[in-house]
Structure 1
């Protein structure tokens, strides 16, 4: 029996241990990622709802209507506006426990985020599908780029729900969020 395969095995285990240790010491945050626990749902979002072992209660695509609600079997209209996917999971789970299923396991994920809107001095203003990690410079590229009159210093983003919309100044590296309205103003020189 040769000792070389054993040495190779232990070398690989040692290297794997070093790699795991290094990654545990310096976790890499996902910049601009939208987490399931913090993202607030609103009209236009498309959800996937899975109930383990219940294909009749599972749906590949449910789009939230203008009021931020969707229709669900046995439960009727479910209001998801302003709630996180996890909160809606818990709500559906609790409702299904009340006389429908003994121990429902519900999973909700966002498969398409609502659009963001860009207007002003871009070549193709309009609504565009949001992508996690999207920055303002990439959003401008999706809109065909800036016009010759555009100012990269006079950019505003309006954020928030319909009750609390806030306008803020932005730079090209600002992260875009679903539902944002971006305005690129004209430069004077």
Structure 2
């Protein structure tokens, strides 16, 4: 039995659409995770005010998390989302300094994550959006022979409190996470 040409074209079209939907869904989930992302020390942010070059700033957040912003002085950014920072700067500049400021904040570089335990090269690595425990282990030289892919712990700060999460190898990690891959007994 041979496939007719229209059937093959239709099949390939459906396959391409399916792959596109799967990729778009994964990207949307990654963006949703980072949409509520709270800034922390070590993040590099860029603040741009449209048409106002002297108000555009690029900086790495220190341990204190405060930056000195023109006209507004010290602003604490740690714990805020990108949208909250935009709103805070917009509110501060509106009226006294600018009539209708257009403020855009982007995270240029996320703070690193750390991986230790049963991986070949434990340490700190630059975070990349969409990073899973498997991908993090790959960055760290892969799992060791004795690594347990079922016993993985993530330590994450949630609203300022360190929380321990039991994770699977496919779980997503976030900037600042500490991932520990435990060893198996056999």
Query: How would you bin the TM-score normalised by the shorter chain?
Result: 0.7 to 0.9
1:100 aligns with 2:97: yes
User: How many residues align structurally?
Assistant: 166
1:177 aligns with 2:166: no
Q: Among residues 33, 36, 39, which one is paired with 2:37 in the alignment? A: 39
Tell me the equivalent position of 2:52. 54
Bigger radius of gyration among the two: 1
Q: Among residues 120, 125, 136, which one is paired with 1:123 in the alignment? A: 120
The structure-2 alpha-carbon separation of the partners of 1:175 and 1:113, relative to structure 1 and needing over 3 Å to count, comes to: same
Q: Distance in 1 between matches of 2:120 and 2:168?
A: 18
The structure-2 alpha-carbon separation of the partners of 1:141 and 1:162, relative to structure 1 and needing over 3 Å to count, comes to: same
Structure 1 window deviating more from structure 2 (36-45 vs 167-176): it is 36-45
1:17-96 equivalence runs, <5 A: 28-29=24-25, 30=27, 31-34=29-32, 37-59=35-57, 61-96=58-93
The structure-2 alpha-carbon separation of the partners of 1:88 and 1:151, relative to structure 1 and needing over 3 Å to count, comes to: same
Which structure shows the higher helix fraction? Answer: 2
Q: Where do 5+ consecutive residues of structure 1 fail to align?
A: 1-21
1:150-169 equivalence runs, <5 A: 150-161=147-158, 163-169=160-166
Deviations 1:89-141 (A, max 9, x none): 11111111242222211110111111111011111111111111111100000
Q: Among residues 110, 114, 129, which one is paired with 2:111 in the alignment? A: 114
Q: Distance in 2 between matches of 1:144 and 1:36?
A: 26
- Residue 68 of structure 1 deviates from its aligned partner by 2.0
Partner of 1:92, secondary structure, is: helix
Contact 1:34–1:132 (Cα < 8 Å) also in 2: no
Deviations 1:26-79 (A, max 9, x none): 7942232356641111111111111011101112x3111112222211212111
Aligned-residue Cα RMSD (Å) equals 2.2
Contact 2:79–2:159 (Cα < 8 Å) also in 1: no
4+ long deviations beyond 6 Å? none
